[in-house]
Amino acid sequence: VAPRVLGLPLPLVLCGGGAAAFVYQSARGGGGARGVADGLRRGLSRAAAAAEATTGQRVSEAQAAALLLAGGYMLWRFVLRPSGAGAGRGGGEGGFGDIEFAAYDKGWNDALEKRKYAPVLDPAAAEPRASSSRWGLGSLFQLAMAGTLIYQMGAPGGQPWSAANAIAGARNMNPMTLVFLLNMLSGLF
């Protein structure tokens, strides 16, 4: 009820509440700001140990922090972000998401409603069309192809998949395949 009353998105309330609970518990148990810093350090050490166990490579606390920040950003961008926040490719509030297409959007809407055409004097005043998600069947195919390629890098010659093999496969990847993979992944963001 509180997020609706305050107009805040639920993911923001949950993340903020979790952070506040962490700070409160750490400060109470460890003596103020030093307790919070120690709690963060312990959390980063656990994350670094988990990354080391997964990849088989040495991971520092700074690298673990970067991984956590990148993972948190991707979680926010693709899962938790409210539908109206930010204008992605093909999204936004007006039609195609570009001011250059405002006249096209207005003309299209005028034709649908059988109104006489009137030029757009202010592109920001054009009527917005409902935007659709940029994730479609093509994005799913790109994701499946990228996932298959990453899986094949991690399981060479029928061996079980491991992150260490995937990293080694990425280091020794054919440059053309690397360009192909980066092109597929860049199309998803």
Report the pLDDT value the prediction gives residue 173, as an integer from 0 to 100. Answer: 87
How far is it, in rounded angstroms, from Cα 105 to Cα 98?
10
Strands (E), 22-91: none
Q: According to the model, what pLDDT value does residue 82 have?
A: 58
Kindly list the distances between the CA atom of residue 157 and the CA atoms of 145, 152, 153, 169, in Å, as whole numbers in the listed order. 19, 9, 10, 12
Among 163, 147, 143, CA closest to 155:
163
Buried b (16+ CB within 10 A) or exposed e, 76-104: eeeeeeeeeeeeeeebbebbbbeeebbee
Q: Mind listing the pLDDT tens digit of every residue in the chain (189 residues)?
A: 455 556 666 667 777 777 888 777 777 766 777 777 888 888 889 988 998 898 888 888 888 888 888 888 887 777 766 554 444 434 444 444 456 667 777 787 888 888 887 776 665 555 555 555 667 778 888 888 888 888 888 888 888 888 888 888 888 888 888 888 888 888 776
| pLDDT at res. 49 | 92
